[in-house]
């Protein structure tokens, strides 16, 4: 079987890689709203993507489409899943710290990383390896709470120690001084350490940041 799809102009990485100035925030908001809609459609139909990153997000004018479904998984399939899934910079903490015990919420972490990158023209957590990736996450959003750590320890990765030095993290806001408070808040809620507390796609679409777009789209969110 073959899928014949519309030819798009470029991917998000190609859009931002050589830019010297920020994209207009309203344009980024439109793209991210469409990305959340794509993720919501997948999750609602029992599939999660597992490799959301700029190279897999295609655009043509103001239209965005999510592509490359080669890593998709059913949300109803049994854990553990493949450990080394998702490109490292967009990999959620539960993917890094456990032996394949993660869920569809990993996609939402990746959406937050992409949103930051499109707004800031640089990756949020550009780790050089698995350990450095965790270190960069902790340097910005801090080490996990005791409750979150207990949940993760149940499925601790054989390759990762949990003796993290405590860090409160610098926070995302100081890195996005050019962005609106609503944009920063949405990125922070998407890049929440504990997947149980992280926004789902439907919740993201209902975030106040997207209020103007919800009224211009015929949706029921």
Domain at 32, CATH number? 1.10.510.10
Output DSSP code: residue 124.
Answer: S
pLDDT band at 143 (very low <50, low <70, confident <90, very high): very high
Q: Which helix (H) or strand (E) holds 147?
A: helix 146-153
Q: Check 51, 61, 132, 194 and give the catalytic one.
A: 51
**Within-domain flag for 221:** no
Q: Among this protein's residues, is 51 annotated catalytic?
A: yes
What are the angstrom distances between the C-alpha of 193 and each of 163, 178, 179? 17, 24, 22
Between β-strands 57-60 and 10-11, what pairing exists: parallel, antiparallel or unpaired? antiparallel
State the total domains in the chain.
1
Using the predicted structure, report yes or no on whether residue 91 has a pLDDT greater than 50.
yes
What are the angstrom distances between the C-alpha of 95 and each of 130, 151, 185? 10, 13, 23
Tell me which residue range forms the domain holding 52.
Answer: 10-212
- How far is residue 164 CA from its own chain's centroid? 23
**Within-domain flag for 103:** yes
Q: Tokens representing 73?
A: 């998984």
**Within-domain flag for 98:** yes
**Within-domain flag for 21:** yes
- Structure confidence at residue 220 (pLDDT): 44
- Structure confidence at residue 203 (pLDDT): 97
**Within-domain flag for 20:** yes
Instruction: Assign 3-state DSSP to the chain and report helix, strand, coil percentages, each to 5.
Output: 45, 5, 50
Higher-pLDDT residue of 117, 148 = 117
**Within-domain flag for 29:** yes
**Within-domain flag for 48:** yes
- Structure confidence at residue 72 (pLDDT): 80
Q: What percent of the chain has pLDDT over 70?
A: 91
**Is cis: bond before 80, omega within 30 of 0?**
yes
Q: Tokens representing 108?
A: 């939402």
Among 70-79, 121-130, 177-186, the least confident range: 70-79
**Within-domain flag for 108:** yes
């Amino acid at each position: 079987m073959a899928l014949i799809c519309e030819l798009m102009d470029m991917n998000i990485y190609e859009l931002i890689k050589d830019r010297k100035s920020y994209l207009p925030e309203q344009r980024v908001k439109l793209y991210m709203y469409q990305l959340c809609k794509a993720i919501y459609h997948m999750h609602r139909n029992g599939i999660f993507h597992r490799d959301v990153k700029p190279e897999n997000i295609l655009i043509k004018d103001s239209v965005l489409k999510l592509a490359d479904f080669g890593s998709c998984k059913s949300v109803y399939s049994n854990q553990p899943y493949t450990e080394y899934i998702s490109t490292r910079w967009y990999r959620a903490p539960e993917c890094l710290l456990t032996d394949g015990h993660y869920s569809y919420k990993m996609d939402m972490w990746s959406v937050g990383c992409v949103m930051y990158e499109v707004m800031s023209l640089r990756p949020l957590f550009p780790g050089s390896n698995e350990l450095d990736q965790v270190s960069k996450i902790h340097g910005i959003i801090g080490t996990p709470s005791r409750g979150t750590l207990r949940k993760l320890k149940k499925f601790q990765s054989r390759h990762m120690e949990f003796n993290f030095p405590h860090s409160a993290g610098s926070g995302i806001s100081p890195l996005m001084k050019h962005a609106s408070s609503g944009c920063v808040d949405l990125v922070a809620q998407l890049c929440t350490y504990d997947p149980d507390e992280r926004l789902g796609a439907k919740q993201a679409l209902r975030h106040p940041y997207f209020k103007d777009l919800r009224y211009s789209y015929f949706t029921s969110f």
